[in-house]
Amino acid sequence: MAEKVLGVVGGSGLYAIDGLEDAAWRTVEGPWGKPSDQILEGRIGDTKVCFLPRHGRGHVESPTTINYRANIDALKRCGVTDIISLSAVGSLREDLPPGTFVIVDQFIDRTFAREKSFFGKGMVAHVPLSHPVSSWIGNIAQAGMEQIGIPHHRGGTYVVMEGPQFSTLAESELYRSWGASVIGMTNMPEAKLAREAEIRYATVAMVTDFDCWHPDHDTVDVALVVKTLHDNADKARALTKFMVENINSWGTEPTCGTDTILDAALITQPDARDPAMVAKLDAVAGRVLGG
């Protein structure tokens, strides 16, 4: 089994990883523009980890202005095989209070102002997304939370809204009626792009508030959110360390097909492919395009 490189995409409140050896911030350039920040590369034991603060250090990117394509492309160029996404979210369920970590298994994408694919005119591809996360990465995350003592829940649907404003009450109640578990602003198109780049992906959604549907919390209190963010960040760093320490020794990985997903996804015939598009896809799809 090939050695895995864990990519960690840190959300609000998580801007560094503890315990990295030989850590250094690396500038990664690619054809999709500038990533949110440099990538912090290092090792924990024998495992390489690449950390990218999704909003940039200091939180300078809004959910809409994040260059998701550049972020995933940069992680791919660093050799990342698996991504754990750590994201602050609001809860849509009474049994998922602030401080709970949710290992998400589905998404509803409500974003509308973002580039959502590496592919397009001149090089078309359609990747399957029925099961958008890696249950194997989720298993490691769950084991880590059990060992560390983090309140958590396995499974749930994450509604991804455009933002940056929080929900109206009507929107919050609508998403609850759909049976969704949490709501946030960042995991789409991130998960879609990771799939296109043949990188396994999983989300740990860290609950900071009850959105605005809860009768005892009918508005999102930013001060409370920030406090919970800091509490969650300490737990997230401990979880990340556990995952890096264990990802290369965690039993037999089930065959999920993500690392070869493009074999049956490319639809543009070779003689019709735009050479400029093919060149831009050198990291993301080089395995199948000969890059």
Is 91 labelled a binding residue? no
Q: Is 82 labeled as catalytic in the residue annotation?
A: no
Give the rounded distance of the alpha carbon of 177 from its chain centre.
25
Which residue among 73, 105, 109, 211 is the active-site one? 211
Q: What is the DSSP string of 24-75?
A: EEE----TT---SS-EEEEEETTEEEEEEETTTTTT---TTT--HHHHHHHH
Is 185 labelled a binding residue? yes
Q: HEC profile for 104-138?
A: CCEEEECCCCCCCCCCECCECECCCCCCCCCHHHH
Q: Is 271 labeled as catalytic in the residue annotation?
A: no
Is 230 labelled a binding residue? no
Is 69 labelled a binding residue? no
Is 126 labelled a binding residue? no
Q: Find all residues with CB under 8 Å of 218, minimum gap 6, and list them.
A: 169, 212
Is 87 labelled a binding residue? yes
Report how far residue 22's alpha carbon sits from residue 117's, in angstroms, rounded to the nearest whole number: 34
Is 55 labelled a binding residue? yes
Is 277 labelled a binding residue? no
Which residue among 37, 73, 109, 209 is the active-site one? 209
Catalytic residues: 209, 211
Annotated binding site: 12, 54-55, 87-88, 185-186, 209-211
Annotated binding site for substrate: 185, 209-211
Annotated binding site for phosphate: 12, 54-55, 87-88, 186
